[in-house]
Amino acid sequence: MKIHTAPLAVAVLIASASFALAQETKPATNAPARRAERPAPVVSPELLADGDVTFRYRAPKATEVKASGQFGKDAVMTKDDRGLWSVTVPSVPAGVHEYRFVVDGITVIDPQNPMIKPQRWPNTSILHVPANPPAPWDLQDIPHGTLHEHTYKSKALDKWRRLIVYTPPGASGRLPVLYLSHGYSDNEGSWSVHGKAHWIMDSLIASKKAVPMIVVMMDAHALPPGAAGFGEYGPANSEALCREMLQDIVPLVESNYKVAARPRSRAFAGLSMGGHHALTVGLNHHDQFNWIGAFSSAPPPTNSVAAALKTPEAVNKDLKLFWIACGEKDFLFKANGDFNALLKEKNIRHEYVVTEGDHSWPVWRNYLVEFAPKLFR
């Protein structure tokens, strides 16, 4: 009997071809899913060669976006067909400027800019436009010091605290110390990240305008701000910080760094709320800190410094420098003028410097540039 195999072979070939075709046309279940096209990266801020600066912000559903900052008037941004808003601000002056975007009336930081001003309530981006020749707060090709971070348990306050310490480059021997305080809305990182205190000190030391010194930038909020106004909060906070300074911060610094542990090798300075601290320290603890700088200060009430006002001889004996400065457009200008008059009336020696400017970091950087060279001479 004959067996016919050809039809079976043809059937097998047809089935194999059909299976192969099906495999070619059927999507592979293990193949990765196609990703949506990634939008081009947004660059903001962009510093242009001619001194202009371009800001960009992606917000397809927004109806109005502005760039608002210390570089000048608010700049209205325009939106392209991809929902990207942009504006180029011409001839931005050199400096370290604060800015933010206003999106349909709501202020936001620039999400493309990692430089954010350290604050208790962060809401500000940083635009740094270098000067030519460099300003003291610009990064320069000179020897640089080091920033150290300390987290410690405060015995005076019974809680964990943080501070930043600058040590100068190449210094030897026991160094003097400047304790430097921020203002009400800021924190212990503000003087370095935004104030550029370490670059300022590098510049002053390299040019031999200032003696090498350690700078300690503490958290000036010994007490957390609450619902109370500054008139109540300020003195209580200063009293707590003074206790922490003497019980925790000064001992920490003098046990971890090679410093001259004596009052004439300690200075205290601060801005705004930090100036409130400085005036309080200068008048109540002049036997521990012999150099004082108060920048655009919120002056303390007389009852919190009453003992010093009654004993001007002791204050004048201890203080090598009592330096107070304020800008003519500062909202605290009158308060500083009144405090200056009070110190004159009580025969307490001090320098009172009136400058241009308002209540802002461009003023305070300049004050540090002017104040630091006066120290420890």
Pairing of β 146-154 and β 84-89 = unpaired
Beta bridge partners, 167, equal 146
Q: What is the pLDDT of residue 218?
A: 98
Alpha helical stretches, state H, 285-360: 306-310, 312-318, 333-345
Q: Find out whether 213 and 175 touch, Cβ atoms under 8 Å.
A: yes
Q: 48 by DSSP, 3-state: which?
A: coil
Q: What is the pLDDT of residue 50?
A: 87
Cα separation of 49 and 69, whole Å? 21
- Taking the chain (377 residues) in consecutive chunks of 10 residues, what is each chunk's mean pLDDT? 38 39 48 66 94 97 97 96 96 97 98 96 96 97 98 98 97 95 97 98 98 98 89 95 98 97 98 98 98 98 96 98 98 98 98 98 98 97
Specify burial of residue 54 (Cβ count, 10 A radius: 0-12, 13-18, 19+). Answer: middle
DSSP states of 316-335 as a string?
Answer: HHH-SEEEEEEETT-TTHHH
Q: Find out whether 296 and 326 touch, Cβ atoms under 8 Å.
A: yes
Specify burial of residue 90 (Cβ count, 10 A radius: 0-12, 13-18, 19+). Answer: exposed
Q: What is the pLDDT of residue 30?
A: 60
Domains, in order of start, for the chain: 46-129 (2.60.40.10), 146-374 (3.40.50.1820)
| b (16+ CB within 10 A) / e for 323-347 | bbbbbeebebbeebeebbeebeebe
Q: What is the pLDDT of residue 101?
A: 98
Q: What is the pLDDT of residue 186?
A: 97
From residue 224, give the alpha-carbon distance in Å to each of 73, 243, 250.
34, 15, 21
Pairing of β 95-103 and β 106-108 = antiparallel
pLDDT digits (tens, 9 = 90+) for 10-66: 333 333 444 343 444 444 456 556 666 777 789 999 999 889 999 999 999 999 999
Q: What is the pLDDT of residue 204?
A: 98
Pair of tokens at residue 219 = 């958290």
Specify burial of residue 144 (Cβ count, 10 A radius: 0-12, 13-18, 19+). Answer: middle
| Angle at CA of residue 373, ends 370 and 376, nearest 5° | 135
